[in-house]
Amino acid sequence: MQAAQLLERLLTCISDDIVPLTARRIADGRGKVFGAAILRKSDLSLVIAECNIDVECPLWHGETYCIKRFYDLPPTERPSPKDCFFLTTHEPCSLCLSAITWSGFDNFYYFFTHEESRDNFDDPYDMKVIQSVFKTPVEGEPNETRERHALYNRKNEFFEAISLDGLLGDVEDAYSRERLAKKMTGLRVAYVDLVEKQRKNKAGFALTKTSLHDAEPGK
């Protein structure tokens, strides 16, 4: 499958399926800006799209709730995870990385990076948890060196993680690449609007207390 075709479909899924649902959840005070979707590899049709709803359960990040809804489908309507693309608006946290792995998906595509989640989406916890829990320091290694290590292996025996920016770089046709880049810019603007509404909506920004030093991870 050509990169342009796949990227076009993934961006359309975000704009047409994930963003409207996310806007409704934020307006209702039931979720945050993190969403996910599952699409068939064969024809890129949508299987399920979801977004964060962690006011109901702190484990219902965008990705985990999407997987939950995926497995709620009747077996006759549910494709094998290996036959699906997994799309996430934000690079998954440690919880969601594990959920994607254990659910059997061999890939995921993400739009915003961990750094963007930290800097633009009021969520420094994803990086903090991975660095604090999983990044075993080498004896004598300075903290600043340790912090420059990759947070996780984006290509491993279980899955391959691909950024939409990286997929854009694989688009060979200059016209298509420019058009898709503009579409990505438009989505970034849409998410700026969503996160501002989340911040302004006290109910929509209600955070679920956790046992992790009162931090509120929640994608």
- Whole-prediction pTM: 0.89
- Which residue, chain included where needed, has tokens 């995870």? 81
H or E element: which one contains 47? strand 46-51
Tell me if residue 11 falls in helix, strand or coil.
helix
Count other C-beta atoms under 10 Å from residue 52's C-beta: 26
More confident site: 145 or 109: 109
- Which residue, chain included where needed, has tokens 């700026």? 192
* Dist CA 51 CA 39 (whole Å): 15
* Dist CA 73 CA 145 (whole Å): 45
Q: Please check the confidence at residue 202 and state whether its pLDDT lies above 90.
A: no
Confidence of residue 213 (pLDDT cuts 50, 70, 90): very low
| Domains of the chain, earliest start first | 3-200 (3.40.140.10)
* Dist CA 151 CA 116 (whole Å): 14
The pLDDT assigned to 22 comes to 97
Side chain identity at 41, as an amino acid letter? K
Is the CB of residue 88 less than 8 Å from the CB of residue 35? yes
Indicate the average pLDDT of the chain.
90
Q: Please check the confidence at residue 183 and state whether its pLDDT lies above 80.
A: yes
Q: Within a 13 Å sphere around the CA of 100, how many CA atoms are in the beta-carbon half? A: 29
DSSP-H helix ranges across 14-61: 19-28
The pLDDT assigned to 216 comes to 53
**Alpha carbon 159 to chain centroid, angstroms:** 15
pLDDT in tens, 70-123: 999 999 999 999 999 999 999 999 999 999 999 999 999 999 999 999 999 988
Side chain identity at 13, as an amino acid letter? C
The pLDDT assigned to 139 comes to 73
Count other C-beta atoms under 10 Å from residue 138's C-beta: 10
* Dist CA 14 CA 23 (whole Å): 12
